Structure formats: structure tokens, C-alpha cells
Amino acid sequence: MGMELNETSAGAEGLLAEGIDTPCVVIRSEAVDANIAAMAAEAARRGVRLRPHVKTHKLPELARRQVAAGACGITAAKLSEAEVMADGGIGDIFVAYPVVGAAKARRAAELAGRVRLIVGVDSLAGARQLSAAAEAAGLALEVRLEIESGLQRTGVPPEGALALAREIAAMPGLSLTGIFTYRGAMLGGAPTLDLRAAGHEEGRLMAGVAETLRRGGVAIRDVSVGSTPTAVYAAEIDGVTEIRPGTYVFQDRMQTAFGVCRPEDCAAEVWATVVSRPAPDRIVIDGGSKTFATDVQPDKPPLHLQGFGRVIGLPHAVFERMNEEHGVIRISPEDTCEPGDVLRIVPNHICSTVNLHGSVYVSGKSGLRRVPVAARGCIQ
């Protein structure tokens, strides 16, 4: 089975003959490499560092491919994710999340003894714990201050950044070297499809905060921004030094709807078997909410995705509902689709979908390999 899967290859039956059963995630390696190369080229062209978020694939081997293709290091969301990647040979890791708690601060200090580690901070409480742990370990822990830029989750608002940055910069054991934010595709506080304007707004906001901090006496070197839809545009703004896209490695139905990629760039699919056709216009597949993530719901702005995924080869099918082990798809009564057929589906959101799977199957010239999702469930 040396065939490379593409949008039109049937494939499924041959691969299932190799002993792989459904439902499962199949990753098309050639498409992954093309996505990795394309983003690396975009970052290089704009003169910013690329630090991909590994939360999308959770696979050390893909993190290594990203670094080999020019990434300066990786981004992780949690320390446990970073620890797995360090074990997998990655030597430069940014935990882009406020690390809070004495136990986690000690783990951060331990990890900083093994790799170049940068951690996020957005509160005095968190910074003090990191400071104490770093001092106890006898090292200078590199931290970046998270800036709230419109998503209304973590991060200090720009107007509070200078006061907090000064306090953190003065703490022993810490080295405040940068600021970061994440907000995805937002413009003027609302979700948007105008990715260029969104990226420019994000970049300008962050470059402005960095300037404010520098004028206030805090030496800010790194200005780090998101995200697959906006990164290449934010990178066009002077002062932005680093981008942290994640989803681009696989792309997904959400990114396709954003216009970030073509359908055929989606490198990760779920394969599922039709287990029932109880009505002419309804089939049920053997994957539900334990197989496909439900965090990106249909019909939500700005994308208004119809259903939970795109069924390759059945353009009018609507993946309407899920229970844990059932996926209910509305089809046309004329569609030929019977129990036993295997469908290939591009999920709405690939990152949280991969997180459901203990292993994935990576296709390539030499066939399919089963690869454990080493950083699956790394929430701590």
C-alpha cells in the first residue's frame, strides 16, 4: 500500500485491508509536509520567527518536522504537553499559558533545566510562584506577559500591562523578555472573516503595547502573536517578531471556511464506517462525539459551518447530529451508501478531534503507520 491518499483516491478499502479499523484519524503525510513548508516560507518572507503550536498534532515527530523546516521552536499550552515534547527531542518550548500553582512552578523550573523554556504569566500571583521556584532552582526563568487583545479570556488588558510588567521584571529568578497574545480572527472586538484587517489590528495592538513597555523601562524583545487565520497578516506589522499558528499543520474545515486553505490541503481526516441506513435520507456512522470534537458547533458566526464535518465524495451530505458513538448524517435518497461503507470526513476542528484519539494513522510512501498521540490529554 504505497499509494499516497488524495481527495479522489478511494483508498479506504485497501487501507482497511491492512488491519486498521474505524473510526480512526488518518493523516496524509504529503499534505502535512506541504502545509509545514508553506507556513515556514510565509514566516521567512516576512522576517518573523515561526513557533508552531503543537496542540494541533500532539505528535513529537511532527514537531521535529516543523523545527527541521525552519521553526525556531514550538508552542505548547500546558507544561505536560511541553514535557512530552521535550522528551521527544524538542529543545525550545514556549508554554503560552499562564502557569499558576506552586507545583506547576516547580515543574516549570525543572523543565527549564532541560530545555530552553519560556512560560506565560498574566498575574502577580502566578509570577511570584514562578519566581520562587526559579530562585530555588538557581536559574533565570524566561517569561512572557500575556496581553488581552479582544478574546476576553486570559491576559492583562493593555492599559494594565506596564504596571504588571514592571513588577514582574523586578522579581528575582525571572527574566521578562516578551509579550504574547492570542485572539484568532477578531476585528473591533467581534469575529470576522476579514483576516488581513484582523491580523493587522492584532499586530498593531501588540507592537504598541511593546513600545509602551519599552518607554516605561521594561526591555521587551519578543512580540508573539497567533494564529492560523491571522498570523501571516499580523507578521506584516513592524514590531511583531514571532507567530504561533497551530492548525495550519493539518488545516481543517474551519480553516477552509476562513479561506485559509483549499479543501485538499486538509491533511487529517476521520474514517468511519456506515453502520446503519435506517431511512433513505439518513445514515449513521460509527463515530460520534468521542470521535469528532463538538467544540466547534454548526451555524455559529462568523463561519456558519453546516454540520460537524465535510464528507468527502458526498458534497450534499450534512453531518447533523452526534451522540457519543453515533454520527447521524442526512444524505440524499439517491445516494448509494450502505452499512459497511467507509466514509472519509474532514472534521470542523482537528485539534480537539485529535485529542480524542489514542493513536492516529500516518500515511506515506511506505504505507500507513500507527502513531500514538503522545501528548493526548496533556491538560495539566
Q: Which residues bind its own copies (CB under 8 A)?
A: 16, 19, 21-24, 55, 77-78, 97-101, 103-104, 122-123, 125-126, 129, 148, 152-157, 273-279, 282, 284, 286-287, 289-291, 293-295, 297, 321-326, 328, 338-340, 351-352, 355-358, 376-377, 379-380
| Minimum distance from residue 121 beta carbon to its own copies (Å) | 10
Cross-strand pairs, 285: 274, 327
Closest CB to its own copies among residues 32, 164: 164
Give the whole-angstrom CA distance, residue 231 versus residue 45.
13
Closest CB to its own copies among residues 82, 237: 82
| Minimum distance from residue 340 beta carbon to its own copies (Å) | 5
| Minimum distance from residue 182 beta carbon to its own copies (Å) | 9
| Minimum distance from residue 210 beta carbon to its own copies (Å) | 19
- Pairing status of strand 242-243 against strand 222-225: parallel
**Residue 363 three-state SS:** strand
Closest CB to its own copies among residues 238, 299: 299
| Minimum distance from residue 44 beta carbon to its own copies (Å) | 28
| Minimum distance from residue 192 beta carbon to its own copies (Å) | 17
| Minimum distance from residue 274 beta carbon to its own copies (Å) | 7
Closest CB to its own copies among residues 233, 292: 292
Closest CB to its own copies among residues 123, 177: 123
**Residue 180 three-state SS:** strand
> Cα 64 to chain center, whole Å?
16
Give the whole-angstrom CA distance, residue 308 versus residue 256.
14
Closest CB to its own copies among residues 47, 377: 377
Q: Kindly state the cell numbers that stand for 37.
A: 513548508
Q: Are 326 and 284 in contact (CB under 8 A)?
A: yes
Closest CB to its own copies among residues 188, 339: 339
Closest CB to its own copies among residues 267, 337: 337
- Pairing status of strand 174-180 against strand 222-225: parallel
Cell 470521535 -> residue:
291
Give the whole-angstrom CA distance, residue 78 versus residue 368.
30
User: Residue 40's CB: how many other CB atoms inside 10 A?
Assistant: 17
For the chain, how are helix, strand and coil distributed in percent, rounded to 5?
Answer: 30, 25, 45
Give the whole-angstrom CA distance, residue 348 versus residue 254.
5
Residues 6 or more apart in contact with residue 334 via CB below 8 angstroms: none
| Minimum distance from residue 128 beta carbon to its own copies (Å) | 10
User: Residue 338's CB: how many other CB atoms inside 10 A?
Assistant: 10
